[in-house]
Each structure stands twice: as structure tokens, then as C-alpha cells.
Amino acid sequence: MDTKYTILLKDDVKLLEEAIVQFGRIVTFKQLSSLLKNRYTSAQSVRNRISFLLKSGWLIKIKKGFYVIITDLSNLSFNDISGMAITQALNKDSYISFENALQYHGMFDQMLKTVDAVTFKTARKYEMQNLQIRFSKIKSSLFFGFEKRRSDVGIVNIAEREKALLDMLYFRSVSSNIGLIWEKMKEYKEDIDFTRFKEYAGNFGVGIIRKTGFLLDLLEIDTSGLHKSIAGKNGYDRFTKESCKFNAKWRIYFDDKLIN
């Protein structure tokens, strides 16, 4: 990053302060332009001033037309803004899920360098500084199961525990992921709302219902309703490509080592 200029004019300081008050730490080109149009006579002058703020480190671009305002130039980064807040700013029609949501709910304590979110819009990936953001696309009928929570720079949509686990089951079929889901279901059995879990699972296809029912049976949770919902369905499913042991009730192949 070019950090040749670091001293701001009073007008620039005032501009950034006004932007934070009106729009928050994450702003758009259009929002900044609206504050600058009364100070500069041409659109090119406005673009030049925003370009200066970028080059001097007071703005960091997160995607075309979106910036983070830096309030502490000593680190020239947005480490003081959560990745979840930046993710929400990139796509307002999304919610934080997977391990990030589990971490928010106190169910995952490992360091994460990626923020995973779910959207009904286009799947995308962004990389900025030491942060990676991934959006996984889900059909509109499955875009539910999240709550609005206040963050450092605004409202963030975060998946409920139950939906985060189901999203992981839906999007990832590798053995390490299945093992993690099972581990969290066992460890946080008292915190998970299994009535909600089953209700949400019923909105997914037969494959997820089979996987959910199998895991809930192991936890001795009543699955009669789930089983009834797929009664008479032919075919079978697998937890992973390597799963080779068959459960007749749920018509699903599983692997003992994943559920021990």
C-alpha cells in the first residue's frame, strides 16, 4: 500500500468524521461523493480527493465502490472492524454461518481466517489484507434461520446454532466437516434447540433429512416426525464418498470413525 501521504487537511478530517457519523465506518463512493460535491466543482475533483484518501491509507477498498474508513493510521488496517461486519456490508442479502456463526454462539474456539456467509445471490469470494470472505449460494426457500445482531459498525445477520449446523451439513460433505458437526451436536446437546433443528431440517431435501435423522437417533432425540416425512422414499444417500456402512432405517451410508 502506498502510504506516502499521511497528514490530512482539516477538510479531509471533517469529511471522514461526517462520513462516520452519517454512514458508519464502511462507506460507498456515492456516499463520500455526496459529502464532497459542495466542496469541489467537478466530478473529477471529487474522484481525485477520494483517490488521495485511498493512497494515503485513510480509506481501504473492500470492493469496487466500497471502503473502510481508517481511524487509527498507526496500523493502516481495519483490524478493529470485525470481518462479519465487512461481510454484511459486501452483501446485505446474506447471513454469517458455518464455523463463524458457531464461534459467535460460543461453540467454536479456534482462530478463523475466513468469514463464511450464505446468500441467495451469486456465490463470490473476496480477499483483502489477511481476511478471506466467502459467500455460498443457497436457494431462496432455504434462506432463513438467522437473527439480526448489532456489531461494531451496524447490524449483522448471524445464523442460529441449528441453521449453522444444517448449512454445514448441506454445503460440505467431507469427513472432517461431518466429524465437526457430530462433535458439536454432542458437546452442546443442552444448548441446541432440537425441536427447531428438526423443523429446519424438514425444509431441506431428503438427503439432509436422512443425515439429520441418523445423527439425532445417536443422540436419542425423537425423530419420528422426520422419519415419517420421508417414508416410502426410494434411493439412498451417503455422508461422504467414503461412507460404506449402511443404515437401513434412514437409507444412508455412514462411517463409524466419524461418529465415535
Digit-coded pLDDT (tens) for 22-36: 888 889 999 999 999
Res. 170: pLDDT tops 90: yes
Phi-psi region of 129 (alpha: psi -120 to 50; beta: other; left: phi over 0): left
Res. 158: pLDDT tops 80: yes
Residue 152 pLDDT: 63
Query: Partners of 124 in the beta sheet?
Result: 135
Higher pLDDT pick, 260 / 223: 223
Residue 6 pLDDT: 53
Average pLDDT over residues 126-145: 93
| Average pLDDT score over the chain | 89
Average pLDDT over residues 129-155: 90
Q: SS3 letters for the chain?
A: CCCCCCCCCHHHHHHHHHHHHHHCCEEEHHHHHHHHCCCCCCHHHHHHHHHHHHHCCCEEEEECCEEEECCCCCCCCCCCCCHHHHHHHHCCCEEECHHHHHHHCCCCCCCCCEEEEEECCCCEEEEECCEEEEEEECCHHHCCCEEEEEECCEEEEEECHHHHHHHHHHHCCCHHHHHHHHHHHHHCCCCCCHHHHHHHHCCCCHHHHHHHHHHHHHCCCCCHHHHHHCCCCCCCEECCCCCCEEECCCCEEECHHHCC
What type of residue sits at position 166? L
Higher pLDDT pick, 3 / 193: 193
Average pLDDT over residues 161-169: 98
Write down all domains in the chain, each with its CATH number in brackets. 10-69 (1.10.10), 83-159 (no CATH), 164-258 (no CATH)
Average pLDDT over residues 100-119: 95
Percent of the chain with pLDDT over 90: 61
Res. 73: pLDDT tops 90: no
Q: How confident is the model at residue 239 (pLDDT cuts 50, 70, 90)?
A: very high
Q: And the C-alpha cell for 82?
A: 470485525
Q: How confident is the model at residue 7 (pLDDT cuts 50, 70, 90)?
A: low
| Whether the Cβ atoms of residue 78 and residue 60 lie closer than 8 Å to each other | yes
Q: And the C-alpha cell for 211?
A: 443425515
Average pLDDT over residues 46-74: 84
Res. 130: pLDDT tops 50: yes
Q: Are strands 252-254 and 237-238 parallel, antiparallel or unpaired?
A: parallel
Res. 76: pLDDT tops 80: no
Total-model pTM: 0.80
Higher pLDDT pick, 170 / 1: 170
Q: How confident is the model at residue 155 (pLDDT cuts 50, 70, 90)?
A: confident
Residue 2 pLDDT: 42
Higher pLDDT pick, 142 / 8: 142
**Which of 60, 62, 71, 57 lies closest to 21, judged by CA?**
71
Residue 54 pLDDT: 87
Res. 74: pLDDT tops 90: no
What type of residue sits at position 125? K
